[in-house]
Structure 1
Amino acid sequence: MKGRLSSPLEEQVCRALDIPLARLPKRLETMHYVVEYGKEEGHDAMLLELARLDFDLIRFLHLRELKDLPLWWKDLYGNVKLNYARDRLVENYFWTCGVFHEEEYSRARMLFAKTFGLLSLMDDTYDVYAIRWDESTASILPEYMKMFYINLVRNFQEFEHSLQPNEKYRVSYAKQAFKLSSKYYLDEAKWCSEKYAPSFKKRMEVSVMSSGFPTLAVVLLMGASDTATREAFQWAIGVPDVVSASGEVARFLNDFASYKKGKNKKDVASSVECYAKEHGTSGEAAVTAIAGMAEHAWRAINRSCMEMDSALLPAAQLVVNLTKTLEVIYLGGRDAYTFAADLKDLVVSLFLNGPTV
């Protein structure tokens, strides 16, 4: 196909073969299309210039937010002393912009990026320390958890202060969602400690919840305005089909990346390993079968959005946007959240260079 299509159609087709256009985050597709529109014969030069200016105005806002976030992150990282945790603030913010990049979502972005960072720290804490049950760590774990808990509470208090009086109830939902993640992180830590290999079904039941999506679906709403109604929070905290299917996609893509990179011996058995063991197949055959399940999960997401109450659709769309960004993070079996170098070019293009021909 390469060389047989004219530009920019060739670039568009190649990109769609990597990630279907319907699953590409809007901000990334906009960046690509502004460049490609400039290559079309007979394009409107004035329209192109306005599109570039509009993109850059939002990009400058994102850069201001990126300047503020490291101050918060450095304070948190230093206070908690979680040297083992992934320092992925920029990647976190990249993911956040995949959900809502518009100017009016500035508060929502900042709250979500911070809460996402806290959840990531909690996940890494369970991964590194909660699996070590010997006496040598008994005196270490409480202090680490104590420091993390104190800073977690302090941050949630600050989140509440940043909300309007009629919005403060939202934080209680976010706290409830964090407790939910903590429970399932602990379940996985126990499995790892006990070297327990669950059935594929049981693995997925826990994995959907430990994927972080049930928590993030609630957190997405915390700083939003009209989208964040009490009904929307009740919907999100109940882990509806859109959220559970998104959690499946998250787990499958993450496990594909782990299989490709090689499993850490401390990790609990992945969905790929559980499926292969249960069905007596190779890892490659398990990946193929689970890839089909990931596609089925996407169909479930689309179907749920088509059938749901229109009043809840804006909240559901935020979850869908979060899932779309997964496709970029885990493109081709990579894990660009853990291995940040894989995301460097996109981050530079999106936040520093913008659409350039």
Structure 2
Amino acid sequence: MLSLYEASYFSVEGETTLDEARNFTSIHLKEFANKSKNNNISLLVKHALEFPLHWRPSRLEARWFINFYDQRKHNMNPILLELAKLDFNILQALYQKEIKHSSRWWKGTGLAENLSFVRDRLMESYIWHPEMSFAPQFGDFRRTSSKLYTLMTMLDDIYDIYGTLEELEILTDAFCRWDTSVMDKLPNCMKILFLAIHNYVNEVAYDILRDQGFNIIPCLKKYVRIIIYYTSMLAPA
């Protein structure tokens, strides 16, 4: 029944059978959780009723399941538990190392000091990347993408709370042209952020061209422009 409850959350609009299955299983699972004398199963059911499994970050959720499995008195495989703990600790140490690397980069940009009115979202930008690609070999993706997301968050704040319409039109034009000469008409904080994004995108493109032989500048420029269009509420031509 618990598996059916979890599966019901994979329904799409119009799948009334799975909606009915979710309602049915929710009622009976709540009754079971309140009456069951099996603490392990009851705890698992209550946890699932809070949020379905696939709504939770898998690597963070692993910690809960390690603790849950550790509390089992019967049918617990100590070797499996030890391997799970080892896997979790290895990845945790790797993620901590990546966060330290990103924090040094962030401090080195000086953006937090020069644009004090924007959100500092480095940790939030990083934390969900292990969910997309948790394996050790994808460290470059996690670091690169989280930095870019941090810069995009700052850009969003520029558009939302700081720039005038005229300034934002110039900034949008600078990004569309990918031209540093346009930024002379911008206030200092916008110049700093534009150059930070411009330089970081070019740096990432250089690293990939050097290591893998691909020129991704057009893709990255297009990605930034899409963000600009969404942020400034303009429609791409």
Same-fold call, TM cutoff 0.5? yes
For the aligned residue pairs, the C-alpha RMSD in angstroms reads 2.8
CA distance in 1, matches of 2:209, 2:40: 47
CA distance in 2, matches of 1:83, 1:27: 33
CA distance in 2, matches of 1:58, 1:39: 23
Residue in 1 that maps onto 2:224: 178
- The answer (yes or no) to whether the contact 2:119–2:154 under 8 Å persists in 1 is yes
Deviation at 1:19, TM superposition (A): 2.2
CA distance in 2, matches of 1:81, 1:18: 42
Deviation at 1:185, TM superposition (A): 1.4
Q: Which structure is larger by alpha-carbon Rg, 1 or 2?
A: 2
Residue in 2 that maps onto 1:203: none
Query: Residue 43 in 1 paired to residue 89 in 2?
Result: no
Deviation at 1:39, TM superposition (A): 2.0
> Quick one: which of 137, 146, 153 aligns to 1:104?
137
**Equivalent residue runs for 1:124-273 within 5 Å:** 124-130=157-163, 132-133=164-165, 142-165=187-210, 166-187=212-233
Q: Residue type matched to 1:169 in 2?
A: N
Query: Residue 94 in 1 paired to residue 127 in 2?
Result: yes
Which consecutive residues of structure 2, in runs of 5 or more, have no partner in the other structure? 1-29, 171-183
Which consecutive residues of structure 1, in runs of 5 or more, have no partner in the other structure? 189-205, 210-357
The alignment's TM-score, normalised by the length of structure 2, stands at 0.69
CA gap of 1:56–1:96, structure 2 versus 1, over 3 A, is: same
CA distance in 1, matches of 2:166, 2:216: 39
Displaced runs of 4+ in structure 1, greater than 6 A? none
With a CA cutoff of 8 Å and minimum separation of 6, indicate the structure with the bigger relative contact order. Answer: 1
Deviation at 1:110, TM superposition (A): 0.7
Q: Secondary structure at the match of 1:84?
A: coil
The alignment's TM-score, normalised by the length of structure 1, stands at 0.47
Residue in 1 that maps onto 2:65: 33
- The answer (yes or no) to whether the contact 2:94–2:136 under 8 Å persists in 1 is yes
Residue in 1 that maps onto 2:54: 22
Aligned residue pair count:
187
Query: Residue 63 in 1 paired to residue 108 in 2?
Result: no
Deviation at 1:76, TM superposition (A): 2.2
CA gap of 1:178–1:11, structure 2 versus 1, over 3 A, is: farther
CA gap of 1:102–1:141, structure 2 versus 1, over 3 A, is: same
